Structure 1
Amino acid sequence: MATATASRCVEDAVNRCRGDLVELSHSIHAEPELAFAEHRSCEKTQALVADRGFEITNSLGGLATAFRAEYGSGPLVIGICAEYDALPGIGHACGHNIIAASAVGTALALAEVADELALTVVLLGTPAEESGGGKVLLLNAGAFDDIVATVMLHPGPVDIAAARSLALSQVAVDYRGRESHAAVAPYLGVNAVDAITVSQVAIGLLRQQLAPGQMMHGIVTDGGQATNVIPGRAQMQYTMRANDAASLRELEKRMSDCFLAGAVATGCDYSVSETEPAYHELTPDSWLADTFRDEMVRIGRSPVPADIEAAMPLGSTDMGNVTQVMPGIHPIVGIDAGGASVHQSAFTEAAAGPSADTAVVEGAIMLARTVVRLAQTPEQRDRVLELKARRAA
C-alpha cells in the first residue's frame, strides 16, 4: 500500500468514528477518577477497540486499571499510550480524557492498515500518570518489552511537536519530636513543626543557587492538631525537578541537607521516603517529532518553532521513562482554554469544549499518519527494529 493511500485510509478511519471518540472523551471527563482507581475510565477506553476485535489483557503488570489491547501480528509493534487519571478537586485539568480518546482513535485507525503495513497495534491503558508512575511500573513489569516505538499526545495551550519535560522525584519528610503543653511546659517539648520551618527556610535560601532547570515545590501535610500542644510530629512532601536525571540527583543531595538541617536545629528525629517512582526527562525521538510537526502543519496547526521547543519543558511525565528506553513522542496539541494552562480549573472546562473535541480527532489523525510514515520509510523502520533488537540482546 502506497504511503499516501495508507495515510488517507487512517485519516478516513478516524473521521468515521469521530462521534464515538468525542463521546468517549466527554464520558471520561464527566466521571473523573484518581490514580489507580480509574475503573470506569479504563473500561470505557477499552470498549471501542474491543468491538473492533482487539485482544484485551486486563490488569496489565498487576495494575488493576492498566490494560493491553492488541491487533495484528506484524513485527513492527507500535505502542499507543492512553492516560485517564484525573486530579484531586479539579478533575481533568490535564485533559487526560483527550489523551485516552485520541489514543483509541489512533489504534482504531492503524488497525485498518495493520496487515498491509505489517504492524502490531498495541493500545496501552496506563494509569496513574499524575501520581504513582503507572508507566514506570509497567516498564518494570515488562509490559513494553516487545514494543518497538511508543506514541501518545497531551493537550495544552499551544502546539509543540517535540515536547520535552523535566525529570522528577517526590519525597515525604517525617519529623518526630515530643509533645508538651505549649504554655505549661513548652521547654519539655521538641517541636516537629519548627523542624519544618528551619528546613523550608534553608530551601528558600537554596533557590538562589539552583542550576538552570532545577526547581522544587512542597506542602505541609501534617502541622499539628492543636495550638496549645507542642507538635511532636510533622510531615511535608516535596517534589524536585531538573532538566535531566543527573541534575536531579545533584538537587536531591542539596535538598537532603536542608531536611537534615531541620532535624539538627530542633533535635527531632526524621526520615525521608520516596512517595512514587522517579520520572525521567522526556526525550522525544527526533524523526518521529519532525514527522509529527509536518502533520501539524499539514492539518493547519502552528507548532512552536523547533529552535524554541527545547527551552519549553512542560512539567514532568512518566512517558519520559519510556522515551529513555525506546523511540517515542509526547507532542502537545493545543486547545483553546482562554489563556488557562494545565492544572487550572479553567482548563478542566476547556478539556470538554469544542477545541478539545477537535484535538481528539486531529490528534488521532496526526499520530496515526506519523506511524504510517514510520512503517513505510524503510531506513526508519529498520532503525527502530534494530534498536529493539539491541534492547532484547
Structure 2
Amino acid sequence: MNPSDAYLAHMDAIVREKVRSIESARAPEQEHYLGQAELWQRVADHVERYRDELSFIVRDLHANPELAFEETRSAEVLATTLERQGFVVKRGAHSLPTALRAEWQSVDFDPRRHRTIAVLAEYDALPGIGHACGHNIIAAAGVGGFLGAAGIGSGKIVFLGTPAEEGHTGKEYMIRAGMLDDIDAAVMVHPFNYDLSAHTWIGRRTLKVVFKGIAAHASMQPYMGRNALDAANLVYQGIGLLRQQMPPSDRIHAVIDEGGHRASIIPERAEMSIYVRSLYVDTLMDLSTRIDDILTGAALMAGVEVERSWDTHPMSLPVRNNTTLADRWAQTQAARGREVLPFGVLPDSQAASTDFGNVSQLVPGIHPTIKVAPPGVALHTKEFADYAATDAAVTAAIDAAVGLGQVIVDTLCDDHLMNKARSEFENAGGPIRATDLR
C-alpha cells in the first residue's frame, strides 16, 4: 500500500466512524404528509418511463464533451429530449446562448398561493479529460427530475440548463438576467465518491495580476532595472506564508503565467493568475483583502507597479446548504437503497467550488452528491471520467432524478416543509447577491 492509499483508507475509516456516532446520537427526522407515499411512487414511475432517454443523455454527453460556453450539441440533446415530451424549450435563456429553460405549471397555478421550484442541470466538460466532473450525469438527473415531477401537485416547475460551471460562473450571469426572479427554491445534484445529503462547497474568486517594471541588461546594468518577476516571486512566497494563518477549509492557488523571455534581460513584465477560496462569504472577502495587501507589499519591495483584475468571471459564492430540504433528499435516497451520509461527515478541507453557491445564497437550495465512483477516486481525474460512463453512472442518474423529482413534489405539496426551509434560509442571513460584494 502506497502512502496515498493508506491515507484514503484512513479517511474512509474516519468517515464510517463519524457516521456511526452521528446516527447513534440522533435518528434522522422522518416527516410525512398525507399522500406523500403515493406521490413519490408516481415520480418514480415517471422517471422509470424515461430510463432510456436518461441513459442516452449520460452516455451521449460523455462521448461528446464540450467546454464551457461551447455546449451547443449537449444543450440541443437536452432540449430535444424535453420537446419530445411536449414541453416548450427556450434556447439562449437568460443571456447565455447555450442555456435552456422549460416550464410546467398546474392548471390551477396561482403565484400568490403556489410555489415555483427550479431544477438545475449542468453539461459542460473539462479540457483534456472530458466529463471528469460528471456533468453528463447532472444533466440526465436534472432532465429526469423535471420529467418525474411534472404533472404532480399544484405549482410551477422550471428546468434550467446552466452552462459554464467549470472555471466560470454561468449561473451568476443567468441570475443577473433574471433566472431566479420567480423561483422559491432550487435543487440539483452532483456525482461524487460518497452519497452525501449535503457537502461543503467553498466560494471562489479569480484574480489576474500584472507587475510592470523596467527592463535592463541583466549583466551590464542590472541596477538600472526594476524586476517585475521579483514582485511575482514575492507574492508567491507571501501566499505560502499566509497559508499558516488560514483555516483548513480555505485555499489559495497561484501560477506565474509570464516572467520574462530571456535570462539576460531584467523582466519588465510579470503576470500571475490566482484563485482565492473560502468557506463563508465574509471570510472569502477578508481573504481577498489579505491577497491585495500582499500584492501591494510585493510591488513596493520590488519597486514596480501592480495592476489587479478581480473576477474576470463573476465570483462563485459558498454553497448555503438548506438542511431541511437536504434531510428530505436523504429520505428519498434511503428509499432507493443508498446509504446517505449526513452533513459534516467529510471534513471541510475536502471541498471544491461551484456556481450553485450563488443560487443557494438567494433561495433555499440543495446540492447533494450521489455516489458514482469508489471513495479513492477524485473529481477532475481521468479515473472519475471513466466511472461517469458506466452502468453505475446511469443508475446514479436514475436514482438522482427520482430524488430530485420527489423533493420538488414535496416542496410543492408540503407547506410545513417549505415554511421550515424558508425559516432556515432567513435565519442564515437571507439573500446575498454577488453583485453587492466588493
TM-score normalised over the length of structure 2? 0.83
Kept in 1, the 8 Å contact 2:194–2:375? The answer is no
| Separation of aligned partners in 2, 1:386 and 1:50 | 36
Q: Structure 1 counterpart of 2:285, which letter?
A: R
Structure 2 counterpart of 1:17 = 50
* Range 42-51 or range 212-221, more displaced: 212-221
- Secondary structure of 1:24's counterpart equals helix
Q: Structure 2 counterpart of 1:352, which letter?
A: A
- What are the equivalent positions in structure 2 for 1:232-381 lying under 5 Å apart? 232-274=268-310, 275-308=312-345, 311=348, 314-337=351-374, 339-381=376-418
Please state if 1:40 is matched with 2:93: no
- Structure 2: unaligned runs, 5 residues or longer: 1-33, 432-438
- Structure 1: unaligned runs, 5 residues or longer: none
Kept in 2, the 8 Å contact 1:337–1:347? The answer is no
- What are the equivalent positions in structure 2 for 1:107-126 lying under 5 Å apart? 107-113=146-152, 117-126=153-162
| Separation of aligned partners in 2, 1:305 and 1:80 | 22
Please state if 1:28 is matched with 2:61: yes
Kept in 1, the 8 Å contact 2:230–2:302? The answer is yes
Q: Structure 2 counterpart of 1:319, which letter?
A: F
Deviation of 1:186 after TM superposition, in Å, equals: 3.1
- Secondary structure of 2:167's counterpart equals coil
Kept in 2, the 8 Å contact 1:162–1:330? The answer is yes
Kept in 1, the 8 Å contact 2:197–2:340? The answer is yes
- Secondary structure of 1:49's counterpart equals helix
Deviation of 1:244 after TM superposition, in Å, equals: 0.2
- Give the fraction of aligned pairs with identical amino acids, expressed as a percent: 36
Deviation of 1:379 after TM superposition, in Å, equals: 2.0
Deviation of 1:170 after TM superposition, in Å, equals: 1.1
Structure 1 counterpart of 2:177 = 141
- Secondary structure of 2:70's counterpart equals coil
| Separation of aligned partners in 1, 2:158 and 2:250 | 35
Q: Structure 1 counterpart of 2:258, which letter?
A: D
Kept in 1, the 8 Å contact 2:195–2:340? The answer is yes
Structure 1 counterpart of 2:14 = none
Please state if 1:99 is matched with 2:138: yes
Deviation of 1:384 after TM superposition, in Å, equals: 6.5
Deviation of 1:187 after TM superposition, in Å, equals: 3.2
| Separation of aligned partners in 2, 1:207 and 1:307 | 23
Deviation of 1:312 after TM superposition, in Å, equals: 6.3
Please state if 1:199 is matched with 2:229: no
Kept in 2, the 8 Å contact 1:148–1:384? The answer is no
Count residues in correspondence: 388
TM-score normalised over the length of structure 1? 0.92
Deviation of 1:180 after TM superposition, in Å, equals: 3.2
Deviation of 1:296 after TM superposition, in Å, equals: 1.7
Structure 2 counterpart of 1:77 = 116
- Secondary structure of 2:101's counterpart equals strand
| Separation of aligned partners in 1, 2:206 and 2:343 | 31
Deviation of 1:58 after TM superposition, in Å, equals: 1.8
CA distances 1:209-246 after superposition (whole Å, capped 9, x unpaired) = 11342221122222333333332211111111111011
Please state if 1:155 is matched with 2:186: no
CA distances 1:248-307 after superposition (whole Å, capped 9, x unpaired) = 111111111111222112121111112221121111222210001111222111122345
Structure 1 counterpart of 2:93 = 60
- Secondary structure of 1:317's counterpart equals coil
Cα gap change, 1:241/1:192 in structure 2, threshold over 3 Å: closer, same or farther?
Answer: same
Please state if 1:7 is matched with 2:40: yes
| Separation of aligned partners in 1, 2:286 and 2:308 | 16
* Range 379-388 or range 118-127, more displaced: 379-388
Deviation of 1:311 after TM superposition, in Å, equals: 4.1
Deviation of 1:95 after TM superposition, in Å, equals: 0.7
Q: Structure 2 counterpart of 1:377, which letter?
A: D
Q: What's the RMSD between the two structures over aligned residues? A: 2.3
| Separation of aligned partners in 2, 1:53 and 1:339 | 42
Q: Structure 2 counterpart of 1:208, which letter?
A: Q
| Separation of aligned partners in 2, 1:209 and 1:382 | 40
